[in-house]
Amino acid sequence: MLSGDGLRPDVAARHPRQDRSIAALLSDLANETGTLVRQEIALFKTEIGEKLGRLGAGAGTIAAGGLIAFSGWLALIAAAILGLSTVLAPWLAALIIGLVVIAIGGGLLWFGKGRLDADALVPRRTLNSLREDEEWIREQIS
């Protein structure tokens, strides 16, 4: 049986504490600790899956930013070639387009780098839940 929040076993609801032997209490504690560990592992797996999905999205954004920046580089090369072959108009247009494409690529790279921040990958819900579980176990023992 789980407590009202549905996350932790509710020992008091099954048997009053004063009617139980030490062996029964220790047995319940061992069983409920096992359940708690399984729940924490499930939460950890879920949270790591979410973090890895975010990591994949960040890597995809960096790849897209790199591709767009490379396209801008190619446009700048084309602008340099056109600039040498003509006096003004065609290379100036290619130069402007190349700078815009590079700016977009740089923005995507910056955004993707922010998505890969190590602090964003910390499983905070699992850590908070483990702290709460530690407090709960200490209360059950005392």
3 within domain boundaries:
no
State the pLDDT confidence band at 6, using cuts at 50, 70 and 90. low
81 within domain boundaries:
yes
Question: What is the domain range of residue 125?
Answer: 11-141
- By three-state DSSP, how is residue 87 classified? coil
Question: One-letter amino acid identity for 7?
Answer: L
54 within domain boundaries:
yes
For 114, residues 6+ apart whose C-beta sits below 8 A from its C-beta are: 58
In the chain, how long is the greatest CA-to-CA distance?
Answer: 98
114 within domain boundaries:
yes
Q: State yes or no: pLDDT of 49 exceeds 70.
A: yes
Which residue shows structure tokens 């995507």?
108
Count of structural domains, the chain: 1
Selected residue with higher pLDDT from 131 and 140: 131
68 within domain boundaries:
yes
| The most confident of 7-11, 99-103, 106-110, by mean pLDDT | 106-110
- Residues of the chain with pLDDT > 90, as a percent, come to 5
